[in-house]
Structure formats: structure tokens, C-alpha cells
Amino acid sequence: MNPYYFDWAATSPMSERSIQAYTDTVRSYRGNPSALHKEGVEAAKFLAQERKKSASLLKVSSKQIVYTSGATESNSIVLQSLLWRRSPGRIIISAIEHDSILQYRRLLENKGFEVILLKAPKGYVDPEALAQVLDNKTQMVCIMQVNNVLGTVQDIPSIAKTIRAFEQTTGRSIHIHCDAVQAVGKIPFDLSSLDIDSASFSAHKFQGPKGTGILYLKSGNLEPLSRGGNQENGYRAGTENIGAIAAMNTALADSIAAIDTTYAHALTLRTHLESNLLKHGDRFSLLSPSTTCGLPFAPSILSVAVKGIPSEVFTRVMYDRGFCISSGSACSNNAPKKGEGILAGASITPEDAASAIRISFGPDTQITQIDELSATLVRQAALMGSLIRKR
């Protein structure tokens, strides 16, 4: 039996329309967009049309779209650019960022930057705490929109407002970077309202292909990560994957068009799952915000601690029973500290972090699957809890 898939925050299944767009494109265009012959010119024209499409979907200009291999690369282009600066300054990073950002801390510190890790209690950055660490040496602030483990949503427009007001007092500009990977297709998203300088996106999080993404770059002067070609305005050398770009745009258009339905569906599922688990509050504690707490959250992600049971063991047991769930962030499953880094950044206790599981779903998920999942979670938590207590 195919396991039920509850790991949409790690990656989502490609939609049929996105697969179709991929195959149609690679069948129709065989040229390299940089080639001078007709095949190349046609591929370049197609790429230009797709760039316009991405730009209009995100309500920005085509010049501001840089195609990349995904958010890891988009984040890297922005962060590694700092390493080229002549005079290091202060960089503020929220402590709940994805590892593709957090890993730059050590490199930046080695280059003489002062990196401030801004705690996000319960997964929320406090704009006042941010205001207190802004200084006239601050060069960049990195704050994600939707956290990939907790589903908490940051108020980016207010955060940007605080930063822009501070800029007025010093006359120096601060680059605001936002990892928006978990926002698109999960919550209503309006890039043009955020007042940021750059943002990262990955197609596979909204039912597009893996290994394709966008770096939105308002303007400015970043250093490329890959060199040896003039593609993507010089920001990203390498032959463009036009099939994957077309597939990404199809998935992007579909997920934007369906967002109200997707959001309402996820909220129904999330409310149901939360209430199923909270009936067993002795075994589970919510790490994500509750649906009733009044704070903004993405309903498609729910993290809970299964009290006293190590998350790796529990996720394996659940897989054996037919459910794909994740222990914290799948992206940091190879890292020594796993999702615990993000959870510690959200001031979650080490005990809860060690037993954290993440359940995430999408438009295809059915409420009956949620019931089966809840029943199995409850049964296995009880069984394993009694085994662990006996030891």
C-alpha cells in the first residue's frame, strides 16, 4: 500500500498540469537559449515569455526575476554576496531560519561580520526586539515569512516598516531578505506588499518540479554564486532549465488561483487534527500555534511533541504503519542537530524538540486520512509510551 503522504512541507507531489507543461516544453524546444541559431532564439523567446509570466504572477517586473535551482541557491546568492563586501557589518538573522541561511553564520563571522541571531519565541519574531538590535552598521536582515517546522507566519510588512523607519535615521540602506518558500500556495501571498529587497522560492513546495526556483531581487548589486555565463542577468551562470521553469509557472499560477480553497481546506483539516490530538493532551503537546490562539499561522503545517518518545523512532514507526510524516525539518535531517536548531530558536524546550514531529498536508489530503492518521498517532504514542516507561 502507498503510505499516506503527510510531508508536503518537505516537498509536494508535482501536479499533472505541471508535469504536462514540462513535457510539452521539452518536446517543443530543444535549443539552448544562449545559442544563436533559430532553435536557440526560439528557446530564448520562450524563456522571456515565461519570465514575464513569473513576474506578473508575483506582481513584480521581469528584470527582478532570477531563475535558480531552488531556495537553497536563492538564499545562498544573497548571503554569500555579503562575503565580498569590503567592510563587514552587522547581519540580523532570525533564529528560526532554514539551514540554507543559518549555515552562513559561521562563514560571515569568520569574515568579521557580527551576526545577531534574533530569537523568535514560539516561532514569532518580535518587531520591537528587532528594532533594538538595528544599528548603523546593519547591512542585512533575514526573516522568513512562514516557518517550515512550526508554520508560524511573520508580519513581514510591519517588520519592513520598522527597518525602513530606522534607515531614515541613519541614511543607510539595509537589505531585507525573506525566505518565502513555505508561503506560496499555503497562505495568501502578495510579494508586492512586503517592501523587501529579495525573496526566495522553490517550485516543489507548490506542486512544481524539484530543483527549480526563483530569487526575486528588487534591484542591486549581488555577487553571483556560479560563474562562467551571463544567464540570469549575470546572477546565475548555467543553461536555463526551461522545461522546469514552464512547469514551475504552471504550478505557481494554479496555486495562486486556488489559494482561498486550499487555505480553507487546510484549515478544516488542521482544526480537526488538532482537536483529535488534544483529546490526548497527556501524550501530545502542540508546538505550532493553536488554531484558536489568534496569531497568524499556515494551516497546512502542524508540529507536535509526542511526549517522551524520540521523534526519529516515532516517525519510523509511523512509516511502518503507512504514514509519511517528518521529524522537524526534513531539510535538516542530515544536520547534527536536526530540526532542534529551529525549535530552540523558537524557545521550545530540548525535551519537546527531541520528540517533535511535523505533519503537513495539501489540497489532495482528505479528512478521512486525517482520522486514520490521528488514530494511529494516538495508538502508537500510547504503545511506545508504555514500552519506554517499562524500560
Smallest distance, Å, CB 363 to ligand PLP? 18
Question: Which of 331, 343, 354, 370: binder of ligand PLP (CB under 6 A)?
Answer: 331
Beta-sheet strand order (sheet of 284-286):
284-286, 301-306, 356-360
Smallest distance, Å, CB 68 to ligand PLP? 8
The answer to whether residue 331 is catalytic is yes
CA Rg, the chain, in Å? Answer: 21
Which one-letter DSSP state was computed for residue 175?
Answer: E
The residues in 173-192 that bind ligand PLP, with binding defined as CB under 6 A, are 179, 181-182
With CB under 6 A as the rule, give the number of residues binding ligand PLP.
13
The long-range contacts involving 278-285, CB below 8 angstroms and separated by at least 24 positions, are 280/378, 280/381, 282/307, 283/307, 283/378, 283/381, 283/382, 283/385, 284/377, 284/381, 285/352
Helix or strand holding residue 250 (H, E): helix 242-257
Question: Which of 144, 156, 194, 286: binder of ligand PLP (CB under 6 A)?
Answer: 144
Q: 3-state class of 66 per DSSP?
A: strand
Smallest distance, Å, CB 156 to ligand PLP? 14
Smallest distance, Å, CB 256 to ligand PLP? 19
State the binding string over 208-247 for ligand PLP (x if CB under 6 A, else -). ----------------------------------------
Q: 3-state class of 304 per DSSP?
A: strand
100 counts as binding ligand PLP under rule CB under 6 A: yes
Whose Cβ is closer to ligand PLP: residue 205's or residue 283's?
Answer: 205
Whose Cβ is closer to ligand PLP: residue 179's or residue 254's?
Answer: 179
* Contacts with 132 (C-beta within 8 Å, 6 or more apart), sequence order: none
- Could you tell me which of 382, 213, 373 has the C-alpha nearest to residue 309? 382
Stretch that binds ligand PLP, among 65-73, 117-125, 289-297, 337-345 (CB under 6 A): 65-73
Binding site for ligand PLP (CB under 6 A): 70-72, 98, 100, 144, 148, 179, 181-182, 202, 204, 331
Q: Which residues are catalytic?
A: 331
